[in-house]
């Protein structure tokens, strides 16, 4: 084995890539538009790259492979080849040791060369993949280059370009696979859309990330390494009623709710906000709690004369679309009825179709619009309201 020698394989999308690296030196690197021909093209390309470097698979310290999000077929081909090469190499290695296989989220490959300490970015970065039919998958990387702000690839969902436009703030960086129309729409928000070359997923960086992960801990169980697909999976079922308890927020919950807010809305809130809500005489905040005590949702209501105003509803990103938001909203409706309020009102982003659908299921109707209500994007707010039965 040549210490520090890595193979990188990226088949997450039509743009495929392979690299061979020795320590920090990129010996061979290639990206090409495979156009769904990964099965026929990938193995010969890997064999050629290793031969040009004078290496066999048994010489490798590790194989870094993109695990998604990405296409169903492409990810399976790349990960299957990586695992097969690792197990095959075990026959030629002392003690029959397989080559370490490290899975790296696809969008981390885009973000790595644009993130501190390698880069000079002082603002959030949105890394983007095309997901077909004009849709995208996007992940937000904080200005500190990762750490606690690094996105969980398994929680990412498919958005329309309009969804992304409504989340990107002026000055944010955007890089990755973007159509001309998407680039224009994002530039119109004031975001800095980087040239296409800056968003290319370089397999040399994939190898770097794999080596970095292995050196920070033991290799993961290769058998458990699975792809993260970018769509086509069935919607997860709602959580059982007994699995979630909705109750009033307490002082002991404040820190967890504040952190959940920042994850759910991808922006940092004043640390004292929810403490003030506890002492606010017109406010009520409720939380959704799992059986293990973890807080996975919150919702707030303000009473204003004979009406209630729904202030916010936030749900743990990995558990969205599991019925938690509906249970929180149902509790606010019950509170409003118990308090004798005549109606509930709220604002929702014009582009947030999922939230609007939830509110309509609870009887809310659009009654007005507030132009450019949201300061982060300049987006309009729809005013929605529902009457409370006497």
Question: What is the model's pLDDT at position 328?
Answer: 96
CATH code, domain with 129: 3.30.420
Do 214 and 67 have their domain in common?
Answer: yes
Per the structure block, which two tokens stand in for 90?
């075990």
pLDDT tens, 90-116?
777 777 778 899 999 999 999 999 987
Do 25 and 163 have their domain in common?
Answer: no
Domain-located, residue 131: yes
Domain-located, residue 281: yes
Question: What is the model's pLDDT at position 232?
Answer: 43
Question: What is the model's pLDDT at position 104?
Answer: 95
Reported as a pLDDT band with limits 50, 70 and 90, residue 144 is low
| 327, 321 contact by CB (below 8 A) | no
- Which stretch of DSSP H or E encloses residue 283? strand 283-290
pLDDT tens, 279-311?
999 999 999 999 999 999 999 999 999 999 999
Do 378 and 274 have their domain in common?
Answer: yes
Q: Which domain holds residue 270?
A: 241-387
Catalytic residue among 72, 347, 365, 374: 347
Query: Please, what is the average pLDDT of the chain?
Result: 87
Whether 229 sits among the annotated catalytic residues: the reply is no
E strands of 81-212, at which residues?
A: 100-105, 125-132, 135-141, 158-160, 173-176, 192-193
Partners of 175 in the beta sheet? Answer: 127
Question: What is the model's pLDDT at position 62?
Answer: 93
Averaged pLDDT, 17-37: 90
What distance in Å separates the CA atoms of residue 238 and residue 97, rounded to the nearest whole number? 43
Q: Which of 178, 197, 216 corresponds to the end of one domain? A: 197
Averaged pLDDT, 207-211: 94
Do 378 and 260 have their domain in common?
Answer: yes
Do 78 and 217 have their domain in common?
Answer: yes
Do 75 and 218 have their domain in common?
Answer: yes
Question: What is the model's pLDDT at position 237?
Answer: 67
| 147 C-beta neighbours (distance < 10 Å), count | 8
What distance in Å separates the CA atoms of residue 130 and residue 180, rounded to the nearest whole number? 12
Q: Which residue has the tokens 């290639």?
A: 30
Domain-located, residue 230: no
> How many domains does the chain divide into?
3
Domain-located, residue 68: yes
What distance in Å separates the CA atoms of residue 12 and residue 86, rounded to the nearest whole number? 19
Whether 347 sits among the annotated catalytic residues: the reply is yes
Question: What is the model's pLDDT at position 285?
Answer: 97
Do 163 and 150 have their domain in common?
Answer: yes
Domain-located, residue 134: yes
Do 98 and 120 have their domain in common?
Answer: no
Domain-located, residue 233: no
CATH code, domain with 30: 3.30.420.40
Domain-located, residue 232: no
What distance in Å separates the CA atoms of residue 85 and residue 90, rounded to the nearest whole number? 9
Do 20 and 81 have their domain in common?
Answer: yes
Do 121 and 37 have their domain in common?
Answer: no
Do 85 and 214 have their domain in common?
Answer: yes
Partners of 315 in the beta sheet? Answer: 297
- Please list, residue by residue across 257-291, b when 16 or more beta carbons sit within 10 angstroms of its beta carbon and e when fewer do: bbebbbbbebeeeeeeebeebeeeeebbbbbbbbe
Do 205 and 268 have their domain in common?
Answer: no
Domain-located, residue 229: no
Catalytic residue among 29, 61, 316, 359: 359
The model's pTM is: 0.60
pLDDT tens, 311-349?
999 998 778 778 899 999 999 999 999 999 999 999 998
pLDDT tens, 42-78?
999 999 999 999 999 889 999 999 999 988 788 889 9
């Amino acid at each position: 084995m040549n210490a520090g020698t890595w193979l990188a394989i990226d088949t997450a999308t039509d743009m495929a890539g392979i690299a061979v690296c020795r320590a920090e030196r990129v010996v061979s690197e290639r990206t090409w538009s495979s156009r769904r021909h990964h099965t026929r093209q990938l193995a010969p390309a890997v064999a050629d790259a290793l031969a040009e470097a004078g290496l066999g698979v048994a010489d490798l310290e590790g194989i870094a492979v993109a695990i998604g999000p990405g296409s169903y077929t492409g990810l399976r081909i790349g990960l299957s080849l990586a695992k097969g090469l690792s197990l095959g190499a075990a026959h030629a290695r002392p003690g029959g040791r397989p080559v370490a296989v490290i899975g790296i989220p696809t969008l981390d490959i885009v973000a790595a060369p644009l993130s501190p300490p390698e880069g000079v970015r002082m603002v959030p970065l949105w890394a983007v993949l095309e997901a077909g039919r004009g849709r995208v998958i996007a992940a937000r990387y904080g200005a500190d280059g990762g750490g606690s702000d690094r996105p969980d690839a398994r929680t990412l969902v498919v958005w329309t370009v309009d969804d992304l436009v409504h989340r990107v703030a002026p000055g944010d960086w955007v890089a990755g696979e973007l159509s001309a129309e998407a680039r224009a729409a994002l530039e119109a928000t004031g975001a800095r859309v980087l040239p296409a070359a800056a968003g290319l997923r370089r397999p040399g960086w994939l190898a770097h990330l794999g080596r970095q992960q292995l050196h920070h801990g033991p290799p993961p169980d290769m058998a458990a390494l699975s792809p993260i697909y970018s769509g086509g999976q069935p919607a997860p079922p709602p959580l059982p009623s007994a699995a979630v308890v909705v109750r009033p927020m307490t002082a002991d919950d404040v820190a967890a709710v504040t952190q959940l807010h920042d994850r759910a809305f991808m922006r940092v809130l004043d640390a004292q906000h929810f403490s003030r809500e506890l002492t606010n005489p017109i406010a009520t905040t409720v939380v959704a709690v799992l059986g293990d005590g973890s807080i996975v949702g919150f919702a707030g209501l303000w009473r204003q004369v004979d009406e209630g105003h729904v202030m916010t509803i936030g749900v743990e990103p990995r558990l969205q679309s599991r019925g938690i938001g509906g249970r929180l909203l149902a509790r606010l409706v019950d509170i409003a009825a118990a308090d004798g309020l005549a109606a509930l009102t709220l604002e929702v982003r014009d582009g947030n179709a999922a939230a609007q659908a939830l509110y309509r299921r609870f009887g809310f109707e659009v009654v007005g619009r507030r132009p450019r209500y949201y300061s982060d994007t300049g987006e309009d707010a729809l005013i929605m309201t529902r009457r409370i039965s006497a």
